[in-house]
Amino acid sequence: MSVHIIDEANRCLQCKKPLCREGCPIHTNIPEVIRLFKENKTMDAAYMLFYNNPLSVVCSLVCNHANQCQGHCIRGKKGEPVHFSAIENYISDSCFERLKLEIAPANGMKAAVIGAGPAGLTIAIMLAAKGYKITVFDTKDKIGGILRYGIPEFRLPKSILDRYQKKMREMGILFRPNFAIGGSTSIQDLLNDGYKSVFIGTGAWRPRKLGIPGETFGNVFYAINYLNNPDGYELGENVAVIGAGNAAMDVARTAIRHGSRNVVVYVRDGEVNASKDEFELALVDGVQFEYNKAACRITDEGPVICDVIHHEDGSSELDESTAAQMLADSILISISQTPQSNLVNRDKELHLNARGNLETSGNGETTMPGVFASGDVVTGAKTVVAAVAISKQIAEDMDAYMKAQVEA
């Protein structure tokens, strides 16, 4: 056992009003988990973590801990916070295969989950535990969604997702890979086949465009596509990254790991939007940053970069007089993603809101009766833990809906 983990656990003050728990989007009972761990009740701690957050192994690695649990730790006010992420990862990872999950007796009802990303996996696990027969549909050949195809291996090992699939099969969950709902098969087809409810967690896979000249050139790539399979790209030695969020840090660090020597991130504002940890790791990896800069067009030689003028009212504009040609073999655009429209085009009862996301009610139900949704397809690209947190509640809402349909 890592001495570091024990030392971190011993630093916890066991606050009566734990700010760390308030800072966690899914309200993990951090002091209690640490107390159980210190009392050598590690399996009890693992069960507590899993039942509160089925993706605890994942979140321990990819959450923005500096802004959440660790960022709210009282010890961090005058020094280093307790690094709960390391404790959570040790417990969740080492105990995962030993978890014997409580599964309710089969209730004879089926539910379909479209999308095997964070939201879909959470819904599938929680409904299967309630006795539902679950089938997960996904367009990819392996589960994980954005976890597998949008987060680099060095941040989230894919083997963790393979372990999840094995655990879910043990729960009786079925998978249909390489199958797109919204093509030959509609959501209505699922309902006609006897699924009592359908969950949509298809994520946000359509990259946002810059909307500038040259964006279609062969030296331009979108971050979400690049992260899907970095080995399929030859970026060259000099790479320009447009964007400043966590995904921009991911593509920049991935490009360096694949041989690019000079990777420059152009940041529209005076600081990055990425988490402090991801930004600092990018610096360690050798990523360079240029601030208050934006691309105004793209040429075969690289992006043409302009200064950004920021106004007191919060607006900004490009100063075209400062336009300068930057040399780059490849340009990676990373300014977020929006949901695909396949399902809406196929099932006309589904409606989008003004932001282009699926329209849902307070309980996660879409405009199509019996069809629920959460995660990035509803909110746009957000965090993993945010998708898990809302999906936990929607699993309860779907359970209530399906039981009500049977009683009716």
- Residues 6 or more apart from 35 whose CB is under 8 A from it? 14
In a domain, 325, yes or no: yes
The whole-number pLDDT of residue 204 equals 82
How many C-beta atoms surround the C-beta of residue 229 within 10 A?
9
Does 329 lie in the same domain as 221?
A: yes
**pLDDT tens by residue, 302-352:** 999 999 999 988 899 999 999 999 999 999 999 988 877 677 777 788 888
Question: What domain range is 194 assigned to?
Answer: 110-205+338-407
The tokens for 81 are: 């916070």
Burial per residue of 294-331, b for 16 or more beta-carbon CB atoms within 10 angstroms, e otherwise: bbbbbbeebbbbbbbeeeeeeeeebeeeeeeebebbbb
| Helix H or strand E encompassing 305 | strand 302-310
CATH number for the domain harbouring residue 328: 3.50.50.60
Does 226 lie in the same domain as 244?
A: yes
Residue pair 113/138 in contact (Cβ under 8 Å)? The answer is no
Does 191 lie in the same domain as 172?
A: yes
Does 315 lie in the same domain as 344?
A: no
In a domain, 62, yes or no: yes
Does 53 lie in the same domain as 124?
A: no
Which residue has 């240029």 as its token pair?
290
Distance CA 6, CA 21 (A): 20
Does 331 lie in the same domain as 213?
A: yes
Please say which residue of 335, 357, 376 terminates a domain: 335
CATH number for the domain harbouring residue 47: 1.10.1060.10
Q: Could you tell me the sign of the dihedral formed by the alpha carbons of 177, 181, 186, 190, in that order?
A: positive
**pLDDT tens by residue, 204-255:** 888 999 999 999 999 999 999 999 999 999 999 999 999 999 999 999 999 9
**pLDDT tens by residue, 290-315:** 999 999 999 999 999 999 999 988 89
Number of structural domains found in the chain = 3
Please say which residue of 309, 335, 361 terminates a domain: 335
Please say which residue of 63, 98, 133 terminates a domain: 98
**pLDDT tens by residue, 27-64:** 999 999 999 999 999 999 999 999 999 999 999 999 99
Does 353 lie in the same domain as 322?
A: no
